[in-house]
Amino acid sequence: EGDGYWAEILKDRGSDKPGKRVRFGIENFLLDFMSNCR
């Protein structure tokens, strides 16, 4: 569910390697989100 949502948003940015690019972006986003919440 969540992965598909982010894949749609970041699809055009990581057209070369969508899987790695999208997962990398999601992990960075989650790390920033978690650190901001604390």
What share of the chain has pLDDT > 70, as a percent? 55
Distance CA 10, CA 21 (A): 8
Note whether 25 and 14 are within 8 A (CB).
yes
DSSP-derived 3-state class of residue 14: coil
Better-scored residue on pLDDT, 12 or 27: 27
Q: pLDDT by residue (tens digit) across 6-23?
A: 777 666 555 555 566 677
pTM beyond 0.75, yes or no = no
Better-scored residue on pLDDT, 15 or 3: 3
Rounded average pLDDT over 18-36: 80
Q: How many helices (H) and strands (E) does the chain have?
A: 2, 0
